[in-house]
Chain A
Amino acid sequence: MSTSSVPSLTYFQGRGLGQFSRVLLSYLGIPYENITVTEISDALRATLPYGQLPIYRDGDFVLTQSSTIARYIAKKHNFMGKNLEEEFLVDQIVTAIHADIFPAFNNPVPEKLQKLYEKYFGSFEKKLQETGFLVGSSVTLADLYVYVGFDYIRFRGEAALSSELSDEKYPKIAELKKFFESNEGVAKYIKERPETKF
């Protein structure tokens, strides 16, 4: 367990579900300890509320569930929209990525996956073309989630039908990717993260 005064995020070395918060913390310029594990030992599991990673520690406050961690950090840094309606439109997109898209490419059925990408990323692309942001009039966690989700599918390669997500097909999401990757913290995180399969 970390004794550091900065928050810590514990997850496997791979990107997986840990990447959303890693990218978010990096984007917001929040110093944190990035703890990676190769497996969940019995000793570690005993400290996890539901026996799962990622886990985020902020002082003596402990939090699990990847989307919850991201929303907590975003909420603390005014990155969840400007009002109640915006906050839950952000939430709607975060949940869509986490609950509908991510599980689908773990057991991919190509035709289903293709339709899923068209439905979701098509909707995101359209919204970005119309207003420049996924929710409201500024960048929020929704934009970051779509960027990370999009980027991760492409990283996973053809097993995740990554060729469906081309810059040509989704130019605005490609711009979103450029926007986040030009951020100093995100650029540094990308440069330093290890090469992994997942």
Chain B
Amino acid sequence: MTTNKPSFSYFKVLVLGQLPRFTLNYFGTDFTDNYVESIDDEFRKTLKFGQLPLFVDSDGFRLTQTDAICKYIAAKHDFLGKSIKERAIVDETIAAVHDDVIIPGYKVGKGVEDKKVIDTIISRHFTTFENVLAENKFIAGGDNYTLADLYVFVAYHYYKHLGHSEKFQNKFPHLEALQAHFESNKGIAEYIKNRPDSGRGI
């Protein structure tokens, strides 16, 4: 690659690719967004674990694994919290959103997981996020937004995209405010408007 622009590669489906895409766009990063149809053998050989997503920074630094990519970008923008403890809470939230919210939501959307799991996630995770925001204003409890807030917003946005909006009605005013905050960001608004439809609803 001869360009010095960072690049991000993932499929059209939202699932895991949306997290780095939201993060990059939130910061207004000028990057090449590669929507990959499939991973051919040649491309697979260049991937550390044979998987996407892949982020290549402007200096050629390569990183895979969704959360590692997002945290690396966030770290460069001081968006991971101000102390080691705040940062740990950010990390805790990221792990919870990724493992316990996004992945099961995707599996339900794909039809390989029982729909009942959505109610459990809403009553357990989204209720926790709402309570934390009601108490602290920010997910990691500091005095500003962090990647934890962005991750929670993406999860909330994704569950609405997956068709679960009616389950949220009037229950989560602070999550609604969080969504409004991030969707008013120019980069995020552009991304939501212009991202391609995967045609698969996930």
B is a partner of A: yes
Q: What residues of chain A have their CB less than 8 Å away from a CB belonging to chain B?
A: 49-52, 61, 63-65, 67-68, 71-72, 75-76, 84-85, 87-89, 91-92, 95-96, 99-100, 119-120, 123
**CB atoms of B75 and A88 under 8 A apart:** yes
Chain B interfacial residues counted at CB < 8 A: 32
Binding site for A on B (CB under 8 A): 48-51, 61, 63-69, 71-72, 75-76, 84-85, 87-89, 91-92, 94-96, 98-100, 124-125, 128
Nearest Cβ in chain A — how far from B68, in angstroms?
4
**8 A–B contacts from the bound complex (CB under 8 Å):** A49-B96, A50-B100, A52-B100, A63-B89, A87-B75, A88-B72, A91-B67, A92-B65
Across the interface, do B65 and A95 meet the contact criterion of CB distance under 8 Å?
yes
A-side binding surface: helix, strand, loop or mixed? Answer: helix
- In the assembled complex, which residues on chain B have CB atoms less than 8 Å from the CB atom of A89? 63, 68
**A71 and chain B: residue at smallest CB distance:** B91
Q: Say what secondary structure dominates the interface of chain B.
A: helix
Cα separation A158 to B30 with both chains bound (whole Å): 48
Known: A63-B92, A71-B91. A123 touches B49 (CB 8 A): yes
- In chain A, what residue has the closest Cβ to B91? A68
Report Cα–Cα, A143/B89, bound state, in Å: 24
Residues of chain B with a CB closer than 8 A to A95's CB: 65-68
Whether A68 touches B92, Cβ cut-off 8 Å, given contacts A88-B63, A99-B99, is yes
Instruction: Give the residue of B48, B65, B72, B87 whose beta carbon is less than 8 angstroms from that of A84.
Output: B72
- A84-B76, A91-B71, A96-B49 known; A50-B88 Cβ under 8 A: no
Query: Do B50 and A51 touch (CB < 8 A)?
Result: no
- Whether A119 contacts B91 by the Cβ 8 Å rule is no
Within the assembled complex, what's the spacing in Å between the Cα atoms of A63 and B125? 15
Given contacts A84-B76, A88-B63, contact A50 B96 (CB under 8 A): yes
Taking the nearest CB of chain A, how far is it from the CB of B165, in angstroms?
23
Distance in angstroms from B54 CB to nearest chain A CB is 11
Given contacts A50-B128, A72-B88, A95-B65, contact A65 B49 (CB under 8 A): no
**Closest A residue, CB atoms, query B64:** A92
